[in-house]
């Protein structure tokens, strides 16, 4: 399947990651589109994420602003992925979001993480 990388890039929020070789703002420009296209299509056809793109930068963030910052239990880990990893992830997400409803594979009563979902709970 050929992926429209320009649309993927334009729909992706840019959050800098120190692991990116080039700042994400620069990578968003169209001069890298053919390279991204090739990597994404290879990743999808081989059904695997390249090893270099599996690395994330972890940052501890307080769960609540008024928590004690001396206790590790008050933190949650936040991972920051490389820009290209986010593009591949977004591409797979888009394909699955199309495939599941088309093949009636969505859970009937799950409403979390599904946009525009109308709950089908029974009223007693």
| pLDDT, tens digit, 9 for 90 and up, residues 54-78 | 999 999 999 998 999 888 899 999 9
Q: How confident is the model at residue 11 (pLDDT cuts 50, 70, 90)?
A: confident
Q: What is the pTM of this model?
A: 0.73
Indicate if the alpha-carbon torsion angle 11, 13, 18, 23 is positive or negative. positive
The answer on pLDDT for 107 being more than 70 is yes
d(CA 14, CA 8): 12
């Amino acid at each position: 399947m050929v992926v429209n990388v320009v649309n993927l890039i334009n729909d992706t929020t840019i959050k800098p990651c120190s692991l990116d070789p080039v700042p994400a703002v620069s990578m968003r420009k169209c001069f890298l589109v053919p390279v991204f296209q090739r990597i994404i299509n290879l990743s999808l056809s081989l059904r695997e994420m390249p090893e270099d793109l599996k690395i994330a930068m972890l940052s501890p963030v307080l769960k609540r602003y008024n928590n004690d910052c001396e206790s590790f239990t008050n933190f949650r880990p936040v991972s920051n992925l490389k820009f290209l990893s986010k593009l591949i992830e977004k591409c797979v997400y888009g394909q699955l979001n199309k495939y599941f409803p088309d093949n009636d594979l969505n859970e009937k009563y799950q409403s979390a993480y599904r946009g525009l979902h109308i709950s089908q709970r029974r009223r007693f």
